[in-house]
Amino acid sequence: MLLEVRNLVKEFGGVVANADISLEIERGMTVGLIGPNGAGKTTLFNCIAGYYKPTGGKVFFGGKEITGWPAHQVAKIGIARTFQGMKIMPNLTVEENVMVGAFCRTRDRQIAKKKAQEILEGLNLVQEINIYPTELPIATQKRIELGRALATNPQLLMLDEIAAGLNPIETKEIIQVLKRMKEERDLTLFLTEHVMEFVMTISEVVTVMAAGRKIAEGPPKEVAKQERVIEAYLGKRYAKGQ
């Protein structure tokens, strides 16, 4: 098992954002995490990736306990993530933004630069290398964010709403990029998404959260039929189309 989350709890004051979440992700899988706004998806990502310390429960990566490890250490062991709100640095060029990820593995600027160039080539961003990201379209910024995560050489890549704000064509493109990167780099993917056409087509397993709890898990087609998933999130219209 690559990732194992056991009875994870995260509370903010009185708010229980994650209540007793357990899940396992096998190496090489693509797992989707869905659920309504405020369900606790980003909080779970933050607890796994070391941005929040869980209130309770445990996280294992490759069999090793990593509960409460700081983000930089979690990155070093092989977990990368992109951010829902994007964390691109506006005063760094595209190349420098991706180098930030590469510095997870090296202190050598030349090595980091080479790594960034290799990643940017794979993402079709060679033309943009010296541009400041805020001048670029949102879909390109998302790819830069992805590039920064990939530059850390992850085994597990967690994507928090990478398709949010993209049009259907851009969404299809990012799906293709992710599939290619997964193959080329032997990645395991864990992604949250509200764009159902995306998450339900790319994921082999879907986990559903609502109000801090895990309410369902399984292959997308089976999960989409479950009454409590329809009620909590998908609505009748999506279920009928399946």
Ligand X SMILES: Nc1ncnc2c1ncn2[C@@H]1O[C@H](COP(=O)(O)OP(=O)(O)OP(=O)(O)O)[C@@H](O)[C@H]1O
Residues near ligand X, by CB under 6 A: 12, 15, 17, 35, 37-43, 84
Alpha helices in the chain (DSSP H): 41-49, 71-77, 94-102, 109-122, 138-150, 168-185, 196-202, 220-223, 227-229, 235-241
Convert 90-142 into a string of H (helix), E (strand) and C (coil).
CCCCHHHHHHHHHCCCCCCHHHHHHHHHHHHHHCCCHHHCCCCHHHCCHHHHH
Q: Which is nearer to ligand X, 62 or 68 (CB)?
A: 68
CB of 194 to ligand X, least distance (A): 6
Judged by CB under 5 A, which stretch of 82-90, 178-186, 197-205, 230-238 contacts Mg ion? Answer: 82-90
39 binding partner (options Mg ion, ligand X, none; Cβ < 5 to 8 Å by kind): ligand X
CB of 5 to ligand X, least distance (A): 14
As a whole number of angstroms, the distance between CA 33 and CA 62 comes to 20
CA distances to 19, 43, 179, 209 from 15, in Å: 10, 12, 36, 15
Among 30, 42, 82, 188, binds Mg ion (CB under 5 A): 42
CB of 10 to ligand X, least distance (A): 8
Q: Which is nearer to ligand X, 123 or 234 (CB)?
A: 234
CB of 202 to ligand X, least distance (A): 18
Q: Is 43 in the site for Mg ion (CB under 5 A)?
A: no
As a whole number of angstroms, the distance between CA 102 and CA 112 comes to 5
Q: Which is nearer to ligand X, 1 or 15 (CB)?
A: 15
**Binding residues for Mg ion, per CB under 5 A?**
41-42, 84
